[in-house]
Structure 1
Amino acid sequence: MEKPGFSQKPGFGIHPEKLRLRRRFVKIRLIEPRPPGINVFDSSPLPRLGLPIIGTLLHQQGHDVRIYVEMLAPIDWADVGKADLLGLSATTSTAPAAYAIAERAHQLGLSTVIGGPHVTFLPDEALDHCDFVVRGEGQETMLELVEALEAGHPLNDIAGLSFRDQGGEVVHNPDRPLCSEETYAALPWPDLDLIVGQEKMPVTPIMTQWGCPFNCDFCSVIRMFGRRVRARTVEDVLAELEARQPEIVFFYDDNFVADKRWTKQLLRGMIERGLTPLWSAQMRAEAVYADKRTGELDHELLGLMRDSGCTMIYCGFESVNEATLQAYNKRQTVQDIQDSIRALHAYDIRVHGMFVLGSDEDDVATIHHTADFALENNIDTVQFLILTPCPGTPFYERVVEAGRVLSFDWSLYDGFHVLVRPPRMSPYELQIETYRAMARFYSPRQIVRLAIGGVIRNIPFLMGLLWREWRLSVQLPRLAFFSMLPGKRTEVINILRRTLSRRNRELLQRKFMVPLLRQYGHHQIVRWAQQARSQAYVAWLKRLSALSGLERSTVASAVSNH
């Protein structure tokens, strides 16, 4: 399929009437578009923290700032239409939505700017839909852009900015160097109150580090944020936890244990100060080792994680195929994966395993083996994602050059659609077998088994809880009803907050979170299969695979006859 031509829309770029904003205290609106279709974050909507950090910096300079995260609340166009400047953040899958929002704002006379990973690597495309593109880490670039627009200054000296000049020519200013550790550590805590609908967030997001020292083939993090990890001070993170007093935290870092010494210092501080919310984070499998060569586990780290409130770790396992792990440049083995699962479970920490299927080394048997592996090793929850060629990655550059990309409809770049023709199976086989693997893992039978087992193991705890917390007994029918509805997670949390002490809420979540998460996973899989866009794409892949099979058969017959 050909890459769509994003024809330049008239009127984008620098115009005298738009060069200066209308007042000193600028009214700025920031938007994070909703991901397309069904996605795994529907019941736990969390904003990415780029816009809240930028919004906080702008607010500190006296600007009128409001942030719309479409997963939390709809865009109020009556409000947005009165703004001086509209900023959007776009991943690859949300780029079409960001472009549509920017074009609507342009029609209302607003200046528009888009940042984020997708437009960082494809700024020319984005400039067909907006006035300015902020490339890379955007906080300093955005501040300088607003200042220049206010003062009517030229834009050519703003590093990391792309725009069209008054003649319509594209200008890409030099890249902005990655911010220093000192600059990163000095960034303000994101003011979550700037987000419309922030009260709907069941989890508090906290970022402690930028960057990743690794170099996975399909990941754009290092080209966006670099390989040098920049961390906030431990004291600053502890102060934020102290100020927010969250019940549940997700540490947004790409690799929470990039620096073990730093991580251990933070966890010790959390324990010493009694700042122990239920928390989860992402980390690599081999972080559980004290010495990977000998297989010795880092019991100090694991104990600190447990005692500071860790409930779940999100691990990018990626594959159970050793050849695929090498192709991904993952620098880990299947043995590392198994060791990490056992180690985390031994410390009562749940494991969310993330696998990426569809490498050149994978076939249908690999997908079946991955589901077997997840069930046999008692991984608590999983994502079986399909290898996606996101701009900015070495993988994207290779498959585009080789002509293997099936579609450049960016809204499909969400990890749930086959977009690259795999060599060892048809695109349809990869799509349907990945769906079946997810459906098998999240089957009702598995959920019932886990739920019944959990109740039987915890009968004394449950009976004692009902005896001590009489308000829970009164709310039990409503709680049971809402627990069966995956879309009612917020209602369940609110009931528990009203009826249980914080300690008992945490105990209940630890003991029963896995069957509830599995139920939610099953619900999302069914919804994904039922939505029209999924059905249409699967049908298209099936026709495509049939045509490819017919072509191979015709060629083989011709060769045989010849």
Structure 2
Amino acid sequence: MSALKILAIQLGFHPDYPDVSTLATTYNDGIYYVASFVADQLPEAQLDMCQMFWGENPADFPLESYDVILVSALATHFWSNIPTLETIARRRRKDSLMIMGGPHAAFAPHEALKYADVAVIGEGELPTLELIARRAVGGVGGPIDDIPNIAWIGDDGRLAISDVKRFEKVSTAIRPELLARAPRLHWATVSMSRGCPFDCSFCYAIRLLGRRFRTKTVPDIVAELDGIHAQTGCTRFYVTDLNFTTRRDFCHQVAQAVRDRPYKFISMSRINHADDMDLVLEMKASGFDEYCLGVESEDPGVLRAFNKKVDASEQTERLWRFAENDVYIHSAIIFGLEAQDQGAIRRTARWCADARIVHPTFVCLAEYPFQNLLFGARQDIEDHRIIMEVPTYQHYSFVGIFPRHMRPSDLQRAILDSYDVFFERAFEVETRPQRRMRLKSYQRSVAQSRGGMERHIGFLENLETPYYTREGTLKEDLLLGDFEARHGATRDWLAQSARGAEPAFAKAYAR
């Protein structure tokens, strides 16, 4: 039997809406960890990588020749690349296996399964390997409900969802050769741990990776960093862990292990990391001088709504502490709740500058539809107020909901204007030359997305016109009726196989 041929594909962003986040300069690491794990376990297989972030096109690959095709996508990648998915579906062999993973497959498996045979709804390494192994010995036509973390369409035409499992030890490292065609990378993306003990309502990553904190070994982490550096020359790493600083001893060990290397890091953490300034400075000496903090808002009511377990009254002082020690802070600031009118949005944007956040990303509160139905998960936005099936669905700074208190286009304008408010105030309060230079660099980056935001405003104006009165009141009955006409049948179909009503499943899915 000839060796299996496997193609891994990372779908890319819509050209009209360039993303200005750190990840837009690198790669999403999930598909690389799954592909690397599969390659480690099946060394005889031929594995190719197609990275659309770098301009590669799946259509340029011999799609007909592959036994297995792996695809990873955020929602915006999915809806931006429907023609690409149609091309893959048309050209791939009928006996091939196509698996889609990533957030969109996890939270909208019914949409992923329009093109894929199987959707991965959690950690994907072991389920993907098992699916490929069964394909290698005669296909996946038999029962697969014993494989965790997957969804598929059963013989009865209904969506089937298997149990969710978190894996104890998956210490996979990204294979450097998968980055052989990489352009110059501003950042290389790595994961050092999985899981987060907290339960912020908006955090979909918890449902992918769980709440139990699990680390790689420090020697494995160092070897992975060194391998990526040797392959790409990149010395800056974005650590995608949900909450890297969960364990002090782990941070200390990592800091000591990389102290003699020329690496710089951005890692995700909580704002209370500032309460241990000895650890912060130790980490800084090892290259950890930037953090993406879960700030989200300065408003206590907003933080309570998001189930944030932080004291809003301490946030400003903690952020000042980072700034005074020349630690740079990034944070997503979330708008879209009923209490956040345009005045509140402007106040929050100004507060970000006063608190000396150097890189705030102002985003719209967004949800996937049918999450409570499918998985028993909390939703802050009802299904009918989610703007679905467009390239900007779940796309960071682009509005994806129908607010009751302001038109979607007005919310988009407020998000766009909040950057002007922030930069005007930030250059008033920031005196340090290095930090001012960082602000100017970020200002240029944000300017690149202005055109996309303005185009999205036009899209929203056309979309929202039938649903608001002249005075700006949402005609919710009309919106609900139109949603029912378009998506009611899908909702009813999903209800036939939903796991959200099963308490044990819902608990496992959220843990």
Q: 1:70 aligns with which of 45, 52, 57?
A: 52
The Cα of 1:309 is off from its aligned counterpart by 1.5
Where does residue 284 of structure 1 map in the other structure?
270
* Secondary structure class of the residue paired with 1:199: coil
Pair 1:518 & 2:506 matched: no
The Cα of 1:325 is off from its aligned counterpart by 0.5
The Cα of 1:195 is off from its aligned counterpart by 4.0
Contact 1:306 1:347 survives alignment (8 Å): no
C-alpha distance 158-102 of structure 1, shift in aligned 2 (>3 A): farther
Q: CA RMSD in A?
A: 2.9
Pair 1:258 & 2:238 matched: no
Q: 2:184 aligns with which of 200, 213, 224?
A: 200
Where does residue 403 of structure 2 map in the other structure?
422
Task: Kindly provide the amino acid, as one letter, of the partner of residue 323 in structure 2.
Answer: H
Pair 1:127 & 2:113 matched: yes
* Secondary structure class of the residue paired with 1:436: helix
C-alpha distance 407-27 of structure 1, shift in aligned 2 (>3 A): closer
Percent sequence identity is 20
* Secondary structure class of the residue paired with 2:245: coil
The Cα of 1:103 is off from its aligned counterpart by 2.5
1:294-321 per-residue CA deviation (whole Å, 9 max, x = no partner) reads xxxx121121122111232111211121
Where does residue 249 of structure 1 map in the other structure?
237
Contact 2:102 2:120 survives alignment (8 Å): yes
Task: Kindly provide the amino acid, as one letter, of the partner of residue 71 in structure 1.
Answer: F
The Cα of 1:43 is off from its aligned counterpart by 8.7
Where does residue 217 of structure 1 map in the other structure?
201
Contact 1:447 1:518 survives alignment (8 Å): no
Q: Distance in 1 between matches of 2:474 and 2:265?
A: 53
* Secondary structure class of the residue paired with 1:241: helix
Pair 1:48 & 2:28 matched: yes
Q: 2:413 aligns with which of 410, 432, 436?
A: 432
Pair 1:162 & 2:156 matched: no
Where does residue 315 of structure 1 map in the other structure?
293
The Cα of 1:51 is off from its aligned counterpart by 1.0
Where does residue 221 of structure 2 map in the other structure?
237
Contact 2:58 2:88 survives alignment (8 Å): no
Q: 2:305 aligns with which of 291, 304, 327?
A: 327
C-alpha distance 77-439 of structure 1, shift in aligned 2 (>3 A): same
**Residue segments in structure 1 that go unaligned for 5+ positions in a row:** 1-22, 290-297, 458-508, 553-562
Task: Kindly provide the amino acid, as one letter, of the partner of residue 147 in structure 2.
Answer: I
C-alpha distance 376-539 of structure 1, shift in aligned 2 (>3 A): farther
Q: Provide TM-score, normalisation by structure 2.
A: 0.81
Where does residue 483 of structure 2 map in the other structure?
none
**Which segment drifts farther, 418-427 or 143-152?**
418-427
Aligned counterparts, 1:263-274, within 5 A: 263-271=251-259, 274=260
Q: 1:174 aligns with which of 162, 171, 174?
A: 162
Q: Distance in 2 between matches of 1:395 and 1:541?
A: 28
Greater gyration radius = 1
The Cα of 1:510 is off from its aligned counterpart by 7.8
The Cα of 1:270 is off from its aligned counterpart by 2.2
C-alpha distance 71-518 of structure 1, shift in aligned 2 (>3 A): same
C-alpha distance 109-372 of structure 1, shift in aligned 2 (>3 A): closer
Q: Distance in 1 between matches of 2:136 and 2:292?
A: 43
Where does residue 275 of structure 1 map in the other structure?
261
Q: Distance in 2 between matches of 1:519 and 1:549?
A: 34
Pair 1:381 & 2:359 matched: yes
Task: Kindly provide the amino acid, as one letter, of the partner of residue 163 in structure 1.
Answer: W
Q: Distance in 1 between matches of 2:22 and 2:286?
A: 27
The Cα of 1:128 is off from its aligned counterpart by 2.2
The Cα of 1:539 is off from its aligned counterpart by 4.8
**Which segment drifts farther, 413-422 or 48-57?**
413-422
Q: Distance in 1 between matches of 2:474 and 2:174?
A: 55
Aligned counterparts, 1:421-460, within 5 A: 421-442=402-423
The Cα of 1:208 is off from its aligned counterpart by 0.4
C-alpha distance 328-439 of structure 1, shift in aligned 2 (>3 A): same
Q: Distance in 1 between matches of 2:165 and 2:261?
A: 35
Where does residue 91 of structure 1 map in the other structure?
74
**Residue segments in structure 2 that go unaligned for 5+ positions in a row:** 476-511
1:67-110 per-residue CA deviation (whole Å, 9 max, x = no partner) reads 22211122142324232222111222222245543331121133
**Which segment drifts farther, 383-392 or 367-376?**
383-392
* Secondary structure class of the residue paired with 1:549: coil
* Secondary structure class of the residue paired with 1:130: coil
C-alpha distance 243-386 of structure 1, shift in aligned 2 (>3 A): same
Q: Distance in 2 between matches of 1:237 and 1:100?
A: 38
C-alpha distance 66-287 of structure 1, shift in aligned 2 (>3 A): same
**Which segment drifts farther, 313-322 or 388-397?**
388-397
The Cα of 1:229 is off from its aligned counterpart by 1.0
Q: 1:139 aligns with which of 125, 128, 133?
A: 125
The Cα of 1:448 is off from its aligned counterpart by 11
Q: Distance in 2 between matches of 1:511 and 1:303?
A: 22
Contact 2:38 2:125 survives alignment (8 Å): no
1:464-522 per-residue CA deviation (whole Å, 9 max, x = no partner) reads xxxxxxxxxxxxxxxxxxxxxxxxxxxxxxxxxxxxxxxxxxxxx8884342222222x
* Secondary structure class of the residue paired with 2:289: strand
Task: Kindly provide the amino acid, as one letter, of the partner of residue 210 in structure 1.
Answer: R
Contact 2:366 2:381 survives alignment (8 Å): no
C-alpha distance 123-540 of structure 1, shift in aligned 2 (>3 A): closer
Contact 1:283 1:315 survives alignment (8 Å): yes
* Secondary structure class of the residue paired with 1:279: strand
C-alpha distance 80-255 of structure 1, shift in aligned 2 (>3 A): farther
Q: Distance in 1 between matches of 2:161 and 2:127?
A: 11
Q: Distance in 1 between matches of 2:314 and 2:67?
A: 52
Contact 1:279 1:309 survives alignment (8 Å): yes
Contact 2:20 2:449 survives alignment (8 Å): no
Q: Distance in 1 between matches of 2:435 and 2:86?
A: 46
Pair 1:405 & 2:386 matched: yes
* Secondary structure class of the residue paired with 1:88: strand
Q: Distance in 2 between matches of 1:299 and 1:416?
A: 32
* Secondary structure class of the residue paired with 1:128: coil
Q: Distance in 2 between matches of 1:42 and 1:264?
A: 25
Where does residue 452 of structure 2 map in the other structure?
528
Aligned counterparts, 1:287-298, within 5 A: 287-289=273-275, 298=276
Contact 1:218 1:328 survives alignment (8 Å): yes
Aligned counterparts, 1:544-559, within 5 A: 544-547=467-470, 549=472
C-alpha distance 76-184 of structure 1, shift in aligned 2 (>3 A): closer
Q: Distance in 2 between matches of 1:135 and 1:352?
A: 28
Q: Distance in 2 between matches of 1:545 and 1:197?
A: 49
Pair 1:537 & 2:460 matched: yes
C-alpha distance 351-551 of structure 1, shift in aligned 2 (>3 A): closer
Contact 2:297 2:334 survives alignment (8 Å): yes
Contact 1:306 1:348 survives alignment (8 Å): no
Q: Distance in 2 between matches of 1:41 and 1:164?
A: 35
Q: Provide TM-score, normalisation by structure 1.
A: 0.74
Contact 1:89 1:98 survives alignment (8 Å): no
* Secondary structure class of the residue paired with 1:361: coil
